[in-house]
Amino acid sequence: MKMIITPIFLLLAIFQSINTIQTSGFIITEATIVQIRAAFKQNTLTSKELVQLYIQQIQNLNSTLRAVIELNPDAVRLAEVADQERKADTTKSHLPLHGIPILLKDNIATKDKLNTTAGSYALLNSVVPRDAGVVKKLRESGAIILGKASLSQWSNFRSRSAPSGWNARTGQAVNPYVATVDPCGSSTGSAISVATNMVTVSLGTETAGSILCPASANSVVGIKPTVGLTSRAGVIPISSRQDSVGTVADAVYVLDAIVGIDNNDAAATTEASKYIPSGGYLNRLKSDGLRGKRLGIVKAYSLYGFNNDAVTLNKFEKHFTTLRASGAILVDNLAINNFNQIASMILNGVEKALLVEFKIALNAYLTELVTSPMRSLADVIAFNNRFPDLEMIKEYPQDYFLDAQKTNGIGKPEEEILMNLRKASTDGFEKLMIDNRLDALITPNADGSLVLAIGGYPGITVPGGYDDNGAPYGICFGGLKGSEPTLIEIAYGFEQATKYRKPPPSKSSIHLYSDA
């Protein structure tokens, strides 16, 4: 079940925002990659100016929102290099992400001055052997690593009671729309930073909901790719990563840059590379992308959709109408055969599998570090016991860690659990999709993320609107492995038909909320 480690990216569409930051006529609030590239081309904006504007925005908002753990001290210098490359008209300067800043969730390794800590003091002063596979590809594509985004500590796998978006190094991250509403995790800072125009795009990771949920809660687009489509090497593991970026288009630019084979995650990335379309993903951004698409709706079975929740169903009625009006075929009231058996295989299996895999994967990650005070899960547990105040162990006990430490690798019972999870996927989600010839399953928020996670299936969440209190919610389209091209057509079609996303309230109101 290593499969659960999906790299995620967040793309956010930044439509406009908090305060209008402007330079030489360029407004960064809600600026898209297309707009930034046009401004580069017209010489009305440099990468250096762009990086400086984002740093200013981070300095304005971060003390309230706690979305960024560290800034890259080399970001401005890297932007100057990009500007020189553009001036010299180098081949690299024509790449789509060239000169574009990106934030990375703090569990994604970078071989530079930034720390990679998963939000824990235990990993400060560790030296990683190399850039994570996705970071290598980002650098090759010309993107500028702006810094590390905050996250639920250890991607939410230390403590069952720790809230989403909390880690020891930055404290509790805040939802920029309604401060009292859960910002969701674990890629919390990746989503908040895009939502508030602190950066153009960001990368997160997803094991089960860690991209889809924060993207949905913070009104940005999130793509969780098929597991293996993007390399997991160099990511502090549990299981997956996600990233979300503002607009569907921005997310697709990032997806295009990070997919592909990585020798440090060879088996999975080679296997999944067959899914990469030869022309890339950008040509899937078609305005009529919904036409003829068969979209499934499961109303009465938890884990697969709406769970008979009348309030949510009521909210989504208008989305169903929009989808139909845009040419999609809605296949409604679908049933899950053998639901009770499938649900129990999932609910009894997931945590046990993750506990075993986490210990194996974390120990492997720590062993590979060039230097580190931590070489095993046992070392991290001992660190937490030595510094309980620093890591808030009394408030948020390290119960996941302790339970994982007790596991002893993958033996017969664990093999059986993994087999049941595979069976739950083939008998559940895959059968549903194939029997009904569906292009995607529609689920609210991140409510379908567990089903997508256990099978390594992709999903894209798009802003779906705002509740009466102003809290954002998302609509998610999930599909079979490798269905990203189709999901992108669907998500883009929905986004273009609705354009729900709007930036959070002004900075002053964020302060008011967070004081509450």
Whether 244 is catalytic is: no
Site map 21..60 versus ligand NAG, x via CB under 6 A = -------------------------------------x--
Closest separation between CB of residue 71 and ligand NAG, Å? 4
Closest separation between CB of residue 195 and ligand NAG, Å? 16
How far, in Å, are 203, 243, 483, 484 from residue 69 at the CA level?
A: 14, 17, 34, 31
Q: Does 77 bind ligand NAG (CB under 6 A)?
A: no
Task: Provide the β-strand partners of residue 245.
Answer: 11
Question: Distance between CA atoms of 509 and 495, rounded to whole angstroms?
Answer: 27
Question: Distance between CA atoms of 515 and 154, rounded to whole angstroms?
Answer: 27
Q: Does 61 bind ligand NAG (CB under 6 A)?
A: no
Phi, psi of 171 (to 5 degrees): 80, -160
Six-digit token pair at 472? Answer: 């954002």
Q: Does 63 bind ligand NAG (CB under 6 A)?
A: yes
Closest separation between CB of residue 400 and ligand NAG, Å? 23
Non-local (6+) Cβ contacts of 53 within 8 A are: 21, 23, 28
Amino acid at the residue 296: G
Cite the DSSP H helix spans in 234-291: 248-258, 266-272
Whether 449 is catalytic is: no
DSSP 449: H
**Contact (CB, 8 A) for 71 and 80:** no
Closest separation between CB of residue 190 and ligand NAG, Å? 14
Length of the chain: 516
Mark the segment that binds ligand NAG (CB under 6 A) among 68-76, 304-312, 397-405, 481-489.
68-76
Q: Does 279 bind ligand NAG (CB under 6 A)?
A: no
Q: Does 179 bind ligand NAG (CB under 6 A)?
A: no
Q: Does 131 bind ligand NAG (CB under 6 A)?
A: no
Amino acid at the residue 236: I
Find the binder of ligand NAG among 1, 71, 251, 454 (CB under 6 A).
71
Closest to ligand NAG by CB, 117 vs 207, is: 117
The alpha carbon of 226 is separated from its chain's Cα centroid by a whole number of angstroms, namely 13
Q: Does 370 bind ligand NAG (CB under 6 A)?
A: no
Q: Does 70 bind ligand NAG (CB under 6 A)?
A: yes
Question: Distance between CA atoms of 148 and 143, rounded to whole angstroms?
Answer: 14
Find the binder of ligand NAG among 73, 292, 411, 413 (CB under 6 A).
73
Find the binder of ligand NAG among 2, 37, 48, 66 (CB under 6 A).
66
Residues of this chain that interact with ligand NAG (CB under 6 A) are 58, 62-63, 66, 68-71, 73, 113-115, 124-125, 169-171
Q: Which residues are catalytic?
A: 105, 186, 210
